[in-house]
Amino acid sequence: ASMPIPCRGGETAVLPTSTSTSVHDEPELDVSQLDISALTSPPANGAKCVVLLVLGSFNPPHTWHARLPAIVKDALKAPSTRFPAGAHVVGAYLSPVHDGYGKPGLVKAEHRIAMARLAVAHEPGVGVDTWEATRSQHQRSLAVARALHRRVGDFALAHGASEVPAVVIACGSDLVKSMATPGHWRPEDVQALTSDEHGVVAVLRAGAEDVDTARAEASSCPWLAQAVSSGGVLFVGSGDAASSCVSSTHVRELLTSY
C-alpha cells in the first residue's frame, strides 16, 4: 500500500508504507560510471567513498547540470565536518524527475533522459539514472536517494567492497532554499537527506551568492540549522561563472524566441 504525501514544489509523491522494495521492474543501473577500484580498495587517507545524486527536471539539461558533479567532487576532497578526511566520489548520476511531477511545460521523461545522457556524455564518471523517471508515479526525493543507495550497494558488495558508499545530494542553492520553504518538503525527509545517511552539497552560482550568506539563510530555518552546523548541508563556490549563470528557464525562453 502507498499513501499520497506532499513533497517539494507542493506536489504529491508516493513512498511505500512497507520497507520492502520490488526490484522486478527496475531499470539496470549504469555501473560503467562507478570507480570499482576505489569501491574495493578504499582510499588510504581514510576518505569516505560517496556517490553523487543530482536531482532535477532537466527540462532541458545544460552545462551547469553537467559540470555540477565535477565541482562537488573537487570540493569534497577537502576535510569537512561531515567528512573529516574528505570524501572520494566514485560516481555520479543525474536523475530526471517523473512526468507526474506536474511542472508546467515538462517534456516527456524519455526525451529528458535522452538529453541528459547527451549532456554528460563527455563527463567522466557521470551517468543518468532512470529509476525515478520510470516508476509508475512520482517519487519523493528521499525514496530516489535510498533506491540509488540500495542499488549501488548491491553492486559494491557483490564486487567485494567492505562498505556501501553514501549517496550525497549534489545541487544548486535553490534546492536548499526550497527545503527551507514550509510546505515544499516534509521536515522528516529533509532531516534524513541532510543526516549522516546522505548529506547535501549545494554549489553557489558564481558572482551571485557567497558561502557565509547562504549558511546564514539556511541556519535561520529551524529544521535546517542543525544540518548546517553538523555539515549535513555544505555550501561551496562554483568558480565557474560561465556555466553557473545558465538555467533551464533561460534556455527554454531562448528556444521559444526562434
Backbone angles phi, psi at 70, to 5 degrees: -65, -35
Rg (CA), the chain: 17
pTM for the full predicted model: 0.86
Q: Binning pLDDT at 50, 70 and 90, where does residue 81 land?
A: very high
- DSSP string covering 147-209, please? HHHHHHHHHHHHTT-SSPPEEEEEEEHHHHHHHTSBTTB-HHHHHHHTSTTS-EEEEEPTTT-
Q: Binning pLDDT at 50, 70 and 90, where does residue 245 land?
A: low
Bigger pLDDT: 158 vs 24: 158
CA–CA dist 15, 185 (Å, integer): 13
Q: Binning pLDDT at 50, 70 and 90, where does residue 253 land?
A: very low
Q: What is the pLDDT of residue 247?
A: 54
CA–CA dist 70, 175 (Å, integer): 18
- Whether the predicted pLDDT of 256 surpasses 70: no
The answer to whether the beta carbons of residues 133 and 99 sit under 8 Å apart is: yes
**Mean pLDDT score, 114-118:** 96
